[in-house]
Amino acid sequence: MYLEELRLADFRSYGSLSLNLTPGVTVFVGANGQGKTNIVEAVGYLATLRSHRTAVESPLIREGASRARIRGVVVDDGRTTSVDVDIIPGQANNAWINGVRVRRVREILGICKAVVFSPEDLKLVRGDPASRREYLDDLLVSLRPRYAAIRSEYERTVHQRNAYLKETLKRPHRLDPSHLDVWDQQLCRAAEALLKARLSLTSSLAPLVEQAYAAVAGHHSVVRLEYRSSVPEALTTQEPEAAYLAAIHRLREAELARGITLVGPHRDDLDIFLDDRPARMYASHGEAWSLALALRLAAYEMFRRDGTRPILVLDDVLAELDSGRRQALTETIDEAEQVLLTTAVDEDLPKATRFLVRAGEVRRVD
């Protein structure tokens, strides 16, 4: 698939930007801070409804504007579809497919599929568990859009339950066990759905990450992905919901004392082992980079096995790579129908379309 058109209105530094794009490699060249990344960030947003740079949405809106709009025209297997999304901080966002307003924004997921490589990916290996959970969940949602509902239902349930626990922390005498039971039940049901999805994704992903690592690092190492649950019993049972419920009852006192939900997939992690040592602590800078790349390449391969060729976005990563690692990416670059690449130093990429990005002005150069 490829993007034929990308339009931004009041998105980041762009008041208004309209780009006509083509299949193949497109390079956005410009010094730092000129607005290259903002362009590919918008593509990532269309694909995941999240930014790869920020968890809150207000920085996406241009200063002084009240909302941002991203419009993409996607061509997939000869079929053209347009998607529009309005990002309105503090309010529900709006979206349109082929000009028709959709009831829920997440209905646009799956129309524009993209895998984004960025310098922030190092966090996948070195960062806190939240980055790895996000990696899994974002991939789940792009592969199977219905997981967006499972994910957001789970997140909202945790939010509601935490609000109740905080309330009882302030006023313990008002604790209503039947009320808490209700949220326990909702939480455990939603937790099971999310856990099962993540586990199944992890097992299909693991061999792909190992393969990709060998290609990137240039030698074979044993790479193991291990899903770690805050409730280990949930991983070995046919009925995780019951395991979660038991854990909740066990941790009741602690939850009431702290006013937060201590049980569930929002406390899990994806442990990465490199030659049997936890990569988070032991991987060198080079190994960590190779692992991060391998995780993204494996994600790309998941789409391939699913029968789609997603848009490949390389945000400022080429310069970071030595020639060996770059070589491993080249195969994927050749394979992808469309590659959108940002760089500060112009790369020697034959047959690439070039855009010069300077102070928020984007100009095609031939």
Partner 1 sequence: MYEGVVQDLIDELGKLPGIGPKSAQRIAFHLLGVDADQVRRLAEVLLQVKERVRFCTVCGNVAEADRCRICTDPRRDASVLCVVEEPKDVIAIERTREFHGRYHVLGGAISPIDGIGPEDLRIRELLQRLADGAVKELIIATDPNLEGEATATYLARIVAPLGVRVTRLASGLPVGGDLEYADEVTLGRALEGRRALDV
By the criterion CB under 8 A, which residues form the site for partner 1?
Answer: 103-104, 107, 145-146, 149, 153, 156-157, 159-161, 163-164, 167, 174, 176, 178-179, 181-183, 185-186
Alpha-carbon distance of 80 to 2, in angstroms, equals 10
Q: Which is nearer to partner 1, 241 or 269 (CB)?
A: 241
Eight-class DSSP state of 275: T
Residue 188: what residue type?
C
138 vs 269, which CB is nearer to partner 1? 138
* Burial (Cβ within 10 Å: 0-12, 13-18, ≥19) of residue 220: exposed
Q: Could you tell me how far CA 135 lies from the centroid of its own chain?
A: 5
Shortest separation between residue 180's beta carbon and partner 1, angstroms = 10
Residue 13, phi then psi, degrees to nearest 5: -85, -5
The answer to whether the beta carbons of residues 230 and 315 sit under 8 Å apart is: no
Closest approach, Cβ 183 to partner 1, in A, equals 7
* Least CB distance to partner 1 at residue 65 (A): 16
- Closer to partner 1 by Cβ: residue 164 or 273: 164
In the complex, the smallest distance separating the C-beta of residue 154 from partner 1, rounded to whole angstroms, is 10
3-state secondary structure of 113: coil
Provide the minimum distance between the beta carbon of 185 and partner 1 in the complex, in angstroms, as a whole number: 6
Decide: 289 and 322 in contact? Cβ < 8 Å.
no
Please identify, using beta-carbon distances, which residue of 147 and 213 lies nearer to partner 1: 147
**Choice between 159 and 258, CB closer to partner 1:** 159
Min dist. Cβ of residue 144 to partner 1 (A): 9
Q: How many degrees, rounded to 5, is the angle at CA 197 between CA 193 and CA 199?
A: 120
Least distance CB 36 / partner 1 (angstroms): 35
Which CB sits closer to partner 1, 189 or 304? 189
Q: Which is nearer to partner 1, 2 or 183 (CB)?
A: 183
Tally: H helices and E strands in the chain? 11, 15
Neighbours of 179 (CB within 10 A): 13
- Listing DSSP states for 53-77 in one string gives S-SSSGGGBPTT-S-EEEEEEEEET
Is the distance from CB of 89 to CB of 54 less than 8 angstroms? no
DSSP string, 142-199: HH-TTHHHHHHHHHHHHHHHHHHHHHHHH-GGG--HHHHHHHHHHHHHHHHHHHHHHH
**With respect to partner 1, which residue has the nearer C-beta, 104 or 364?**
104
The least distance separating partner 1 from the CB of residue 356, rounded to whole angstroms, comes to: 39
Closer CB to partner 1, residue 150 or residue 216?
A: 150
Closest Cα to residue 71, out of 21, 8, 142?
Answer: 8
Residue 57 in tokens: 């949405």
Minimal distance, residue 179 CB to partner 1, in Å: 6
